[in-house]
Structure 1
Amino acid sequence: MRSWLINLRKEQELTQQEIAEGAHIDRAYYAQIENGTRNPSMTVASQIASYLHINPSLFYTEHLSEPFEKALVNSPIVIAHCDLNLRYTWMFNPHPDFRMNVVMGKTDEELDFNEGTTALMNLKQRVIDDGMARREILAFPLSEGLTRYDVFAQPLYDQHGRLTGAATVSVEMLT
């Protein structure tokens, strides 16, 4: 079951029929994708993702290589993608203060407005504006107190070389 997809649909107050029509597929096929009994082709995943404003790779994150996932899960590393409007389209290993179904489609400031989220959005915007990778140390007020991250951001391009957003890797720093 793709609970993240169900939660995203409900959060956007959409029906399965509306998403199926927006992605130009049959509703029954979409229902099977949502409940995990069918995997979409890359084309169909892209159509659904385009309609929902997410990255199509979300459909395949459960197929990450086991060594990669085991090495990063519960680590102090967060990997994310955002679109040109700075809305999250993919995230792996978010801080426990954030749930995946809440993060997708939102900007940092919509999730929590503070100096850290503003600085992170500014960093990603500069990367998108000039196409240059950047690295900064940013501090965020989280449940366990002020937490500093070493954030590396770079432009994100599609298979045709068009800029689609920014990718970030954030590593929690020891105090």
Structure 2
Amino acid sequence: MSHQKRNWLERLRKMKGYSQEEIAYLVHIDRSYYSKIESGVRVPSRRLAEDLADLLNFHVSVFELEESPFHFALQDSPMVIAHFDLELRYTWIFNPHTDFDPVSVIGKRDVELENNEGTRELMRLKQEVITVRTSIRRKISFPLSDQTYEYDVTCHPLFNHKGKLIGGSSASTQLIKEEVQTKDYEIPSC
């Protein structure tokens, strides 16, 4: 692991009004150990990760995603991956558009970040996924600072380790608008 600070975890903790000491007490660990988890120096056990996820209302898989080779493969791709809670607030995001800081989006809804038809449509999609508890895929256009981007968005319901619905996840792939050009190619003779 690259020992990258878990800013998303710190932000969730502060949004819930907890100090590091309070979190540590509630999950039965030492404050310094929790501090190392938040700073990215330590990876919590599965059981501890589940306790933290239950307490702060995020999906435990985030810790696993940090260790996954997919994390590095997707790092510079045109794909945004995120988790959101039942109130449609982001609890984690990976690889957002440069208009958005990945830490400052935690705890916010899409329309609080940018209120446009694309973000409103994304919120409707997320709400529908939570309501019907099944995956849904849709193309959505987002007017951003430099141009309008079209994304192929798939949302899934997220259940915690106890089977309780806690929100959803989304994977959004930027679609590239390309002009198809026809070229004549010569076939080499044998």
Confirm or deny a common fold (TM above 0.5).
yes
Q: Does 1:63 align with 2:63?
A: no
Q: TM-score, normalised by structure 1?
A: 0.83
Matches within 5 A, 1:140-159: 140-159=142-161
Deviations 1:31-69 (A, max 9, x none): 22223333211221222233333222233333112xx23
Q: Does 1:28 align with 2:32?
A: yes
Q: Return the letter of the residue paired with 2:20.
A: Q
Matches within 5 A, 1:1-175: 1=3, 2-4=5-7, 5-9=9-13, 14-65=18-69, 68-175=70-177
Q: TM-score, normalised by structure 2?
A: 0.77
> Once structures 1 and 2 are overlaid, which stretch shifts more, 151-160 or 115-124?
151-160
> Once structures 1 and 2 are overlaid, which stretch shifts more, 159-168 or 130-139?
159-168
Q: Which runs of 5+ in 2 are unaligned?
A: 178-190
More helix by share: 1
**Equivalent-residue separation in structure 2 for 1:91 and 1:130 (angstroms):** 23
> Once structures 1 and 2 are overlaid, which stretch shifts more, 1-10 or 84-93?
1-10
Q: Which runs of 5+ in 1 are unaligned?
A: none
**Equivalent-residue separation in structure 1 for 2:74 and 2:66 (angstroms):** 14
What is the DSSP-based 3-state SS (H/G/I as helix, E as strand, rest coil) of the residue aligned with 1:101?
coil
- Bigger-Rg structure (1/2): 2
Deviation at 1:132, TM superposition (A): 3.0
**Equivalent-residue separation in structure 2 for 1:3 and 1:79 (angstroms):** 16
**Equivalent-residue separation in structure 1 for 2:135 and 2:64 (angstroms):** 26
What is the DSSP-based 3-state SS (H/G/I as helix, E as strand, rest coil) of the residue aligned with 1:90?
strand
What is the DSSP-based 3-state SS (H/G/I as helix, E as strand, rest coil) of the residue aligned with 1:82?
strand
**Equivalent-residue separation in structure 1 for 2:54 and 2:161 (angstroms):** 15
Tell me, yes or no, if the aligned pair for 1:57 and 1:90 is still in contact at 8 Å: no
Tell me, yes or no, if the aligned pair for 1:94 and 1:100 is still in contact at 8 Å: yes
What is the DSSP-based 3-state SS (H/G/I as helix, E as strand, rest coil) of the residue aligned with 2:103?
helix
> Once structures 1 and 2 are overlaid, which stretch shifts more, 33-42 or 74-83?
33-42
Tell me, yes or no, if the aligned pair for 2:59 and 2:160 is still in contact at 8 Å: no
Give aligned pairs, total: 173
Give me the identity figure in percent.
46
What is the DSSP-based 3-state SS (H/G/I as helix, E as strand, rest coil) of the residue aligned with 2:44?
coil
Tell me, yes or no, if the aligned pair for 1:82 and 1:166 is still in contact at 8 Å: yes
Tell me, yes or no, if the aligned pair for 1:83 and 1:166 is still in contact at 8 Å: yes
> Judging changes above 3 Å, is the alpha-carbon distance between structure 1 residues 160 and 3 closer, same or farther for their aligned structure 2 residues?
closer
**Equivalent-residue separation in structure 1 for 2:12 and 2:49 (angstroms):** 15
